Structure 1
Amino acid sequence: MTAGVRTIIYPVKDIDGAKALFRALLGTDPYVDEPYYVGFKDAGQDIGLDPGGHAQGLTGPVPYWHVDDIRGRLAALVAAGARVQQEVREVGGGRLIASVRDADGNLVGLVEDTGA
């Protein structure tokens, strides 16, 4: 699989307000609706709402690139000058995430679905 952006996570302070906005925008209910994360799917795109995002240093939406080898890709990004924002961690269902900041401070997220 080649890398591709299929997930965008929005840090939100008002999860209920954000959920209502994305319901209106997408015309659908979320497929995940938990106090710690709300997820929508639309045309192959995952849109996530993270009420803990601001506390993790997120300042705006973060695109997550889906990759086959998150640790290898993270190491390559660091070798290319990126700074690790969030180390690789499992977030449930075999999904691993990590993020880096580029030289301009932009966040780039990585996702690997291990199928575990």
Structure 2
Amino acid sequence: MATVSFYAADVKAARDWYQELLGVEAYFAVPSADDPQYVEFRIGDFQAELGIINSKFASHTVDGGSAGAVLYWHVDELEASLARLIELGATLIEEITERGVNTGFRTASVADPFGNVIGIMNNPHYLEILESTRS
């Protein structure tokens, strides 16, 4: 994953919500930080891009309901991450679910207050790849 784009009718509110969730500020905004139509964050071990675009520019219908593909982000503490998302106003879509028997893969998903689906998971494969880059 290099970039993921989410949509929101109120980009400023979405930016503020994601700053609170991620603990980092958006590093880029156009046309301005005071009236953003697009903002971008760098997140994760590989500084992937999370962009939030004004929904009026979407090439598909964005009506505030949960929609789209689910991109799962590896988190170290699945229960704590899910609780934090819900505490910040996200809506539970899928509770923590084991994927396979004794595989270590577990997922959950929520919708952010702007209708974007956020998947979180424990992903042993991701940890193996991450560790290999540090050797």
TM-score when scaled to structure 1?
Answer: 0.47
Larger RCO (CA within 8 A; separation ≥ 6): 1
Q: Which has the larger radius of gyration?
A: 2
TM-score when scaled to structure 2?
Answer: 0.40
